[in-house]
Structure 1
Amino acid sequence: MDTLRTVTVTRYMQPLREGGSLPALAEADDDFKYVIKFKGGGHGVKTLIAELIGGEIARALGLKVPELVFAELDECFGRSEGDEEIQDLLKASQGLNLGLHFLSGAFTYDPVVTKIDPLLASKIVWLDSLITNVDRSFRNTNMLVWHNELWLIDHGSSLYFQYNWEGWEKKAVSPFLYIKDHVLLPQATQMEEADQICRELITENKIREIVQLIPDEWLQWELQDETPEQLRTVYYTFLINRLNYSNQFIQTVQDATETSI
């Protein structure tokens, strides 16, 4: 994995108002459609960093994730947009954004309708424990069914430690209690097997490789003195520390399962 492909957004098609950051369906210069996550929305580039890291770790685990691309937004783009809110968003998002390949015809995963293999469910719960993803609940599953396969989307609510750097070392080894709300928790009955498989796939080198994908452009924050490389080191160390504490994922899931019975 050297880097992601970079595309240029050529046509804004429609806003997707399900999320607070106002992503959009857009077309790029490779003639494909993408769901674009804009750095000018919501929590800004930190949402994109979480989306990038979460999505690529999921892919490394063999889970299905739409292709992620860097999406370049020209400074002239969106000037003719009539909606002022959207025009402001596009102006604030000039440069590199993040796109997810649009899965045309996919539908939202419904746990009542579609049952998931216990090992697959356990791998997804393991992933979300690693990246501290608070947003894969019954209310908002952030999973799609496409061609009879389960696809993971929207990892932007992961790695929430980054919104308050203070004490990030402790957060890396703390139990992820939000796992109690995970939509796949009842089916995640093979956590020990999932932990063994995932630990073999997610090595320290793999995490370093994924963290190195974060563009410098996304790591130049106001009120932050660290260089882009120093910030990448924090992300890397946080993930390594969580990885080395993965036996805790199993216990936390077991405790949450017992509490929900």
Structure 2
Amino acid sequence: MSAPDLAGLTALVTGGASGIGLATARLLAARGARVACLDLEPDGLPDPLTGIRADVADDAGVREAVAEAARVLGGIDILVNNAGIGAQGTIEDNADDEWHRVFDVNVLGMVRVTRAALPHLRRSDSAAIVNTCSIAATAGLPDRVLYSATKGAVLALTRATAADLVHCGIRVNCVNPGTADTPWIGRLLDRAADPAAERAALNARQPMGRLVSADEVATAIAYLASPLSGSTTGIDLPVDGGMQGLRIRPRT
């Protein structure tokens, strides 16, 4: 039996204490990697994951947390930039302060963590960065202007960073999940006037007729992080139940 594809590698996952981040951290560990999770609330992570408290909006804190992760893990081969926050509304609905806040986490958060991790990634023979983007970067979704703008920036950031780092042997890709069944979506549904109707509408929006699971997104991230995808860089991989690519007829 061959060794797991990530055996001997180390991985850092931001937003790794819940949702897509936790599913990804668990899967990377199951495939042989040593994994540290940066999160605002990292307590209670299952073994063998290592939790490190960090706010991606705080540059000094990020640098300290990444250095601690590299010390604990013995280096960083894989970086998964997953930490992010949501936002609702049209272009008229959010004040400037909210625009700055969401961009600070969703875009600059990835910049800060990547910047801090690069010295460690440059020493790796299997370096990979995977950013969690969104279907919102490539499809116009109603009432998601601010969130979509940040994810459009993440998509451009991914491609440009891939171009800058390709000659360093560092691959950079992103995943574009559709609406995923995560705690954030659960809280969003809880605030809806009719949670059941809202969930049905989200399910119907994706051609497969259901929300994407966190484990499905994690599997895509693990593929892009693995040395087995060593010729893949600068791409965005949809995990959206066909939402971006399919144009199907409504069921009658």
Task: Please give the TM-score of this superposition, normalised by the length of structure 1.
Answer: 0.29
Q: Relative to total residues, which structure has the larger helix share, 1 or 2? A: 2
